Copies of this chain bind each other. A is one copy, B any other.
């Protein structure tokens, strides 16, 4: 009531407990910041949107996978994906991603773990690794990172306890946003270097508004494991665009796997939300991830950031209307019509890719000469990486609609050129 409100506005928060650079348990932080904590724990909620969010799917727990609830399988939703990833772990299990609360268990129990042995590197983005890295490196974050990466996943995971927690994004003393992920610290420095900004130190050089995006870009990015040390690497040394990233992989002659049906040297793209966002209108306009996914919320007299990180389309009023005057219904409709146009074109691109795979198989059976087959396989590698880049990106085109359609157009072109290359 109103007295309280006049009260509150004078006292932002009470320091109940002392937080240090080693306080990992979010419940501890929650004692000082109950409002943010309440939001944080609600990332267990599972609610669908037309193209995103997540849907609770019940399953009978087994010893390998004790989870009683998971999210819908994208493989069943888009069967073409199995063909695209033939021979790769992703063709076994690939699900709609859900709230942060699940990140650790979903990684531990995905069938992809059985399909192929995974390294400790995986934990970088699925657990609170800041304190564990420091411990493993005797106080040196980078050393700990390098130490855990090569370990077998099962062994590495004994070093971590929580999914993402407060300390992964915040300095415990000042509460300032802070980048804790080696992968991003190195990756963004390379990307900036490509733009001519040398020796970029993100925690020193980034603006406050940039940090509202970078804390998310610690994980919502394309990546690969470099060399036998399985060092986590963000392939940004030539830039963030899809062609820059492909050029990088071609240069270092990297492949994620060999396609089971065609023998093509394949690449897998993963959640390039940051890279796609960077090509979009909102990024142009300086709108950060947090602006939409962690909108401000009034709690009494306080304005706090919504720590229930989720689809903005579940709270259009707070997420969009602060900037857009249109009604909530209208804004939802605008977003969905962008997504719908995108989804239809994505299907065209996936079908084109499947056509190419079919043609290569037929050509192989018919004993077509190696030269043409290799040319076609190179097209498959490109076409597959391009369509995967926008499909793995989780906004169904919203983060950068024109760029998304552009990439799909080029993917279609590569698939069809591959078919053409087999002929003549």
What band does the interface of chain A fall in when counting residues whose beta carbon is under 8 Å from B? 20 to 34
Complex Cα distance, B413 from A152, in Å, reads 44
Complex Cα distance, B408 from A281, in Å, reads 20
Other than the known A281-B334, A348-B409, A401-B401, what 5 A-B pairs have Cβ atoms closer than 8 Å? A338-B402, A341-B406, A345-B409, A348-B413, A420-B420
Complex Cα distance, B416 from A285, in Å, reads 37
Residues of B near A326 (CB, < 8 A) are: 285
Complex Cα distance, B205 from A21, in Å, reads 67
Chain A 293-331: CB-based contact to B (< 8 A → 1; otherwise 0): 000000000000000000000000000000000100000
> What are the 10 closest A-B residue pairs judged by CB atoms, nearest first?
A416-B416, A405-B405, A409-B409, A401-B402, A423-B423, A412-B413, A405-B406, A402-B402, A402-B405, A419-B420
Of all chain B residues, the one with the shortest Cβ separation from A362 is B424
Chain A residues with CB under 8 Å of chain B are 281, 284-285, 326, 334, 337-338, 341-342, 345, 348-349, 352, 397, 401-406, 408-410, 412-413, 415-417, 419-420, 423
Residues of B near A423 (CB, < 8 A) are: 423
Q: Which of B285, B341, B402, B416 contacts A412 (CB 8 A)?
A: B416
Of all chain B residues, the one with the shortest Cβ separation from A355 is B420
What are 18 contact pairs spanning A and B, CB under 8 A? A284-B334, A284-B337, A285-B326, A341-B402, A342-B402, A345-B409, A345-B410, A349-B409, A401-B402, A402-B402, A405-B406, A405-B409, A408-B409, A409-B412, A413-B416, A416-B416, A416-B420, A423-B423
Greatest chain B CB density within 10 A among A352, A416, A417, A423 is at A416
Complex Cα distance, B334 from A285, in Å, reads 9
Complex Cα distance, B420 from A349, in Å, reads 16
Of all chain B residues, the one with the shortest Cβ separation from A420 is B419
Give min CB distance, A404 to chain B, whole Å.
Answer: 8
Residues of B near A338 (CB, < 8 A) are: 402
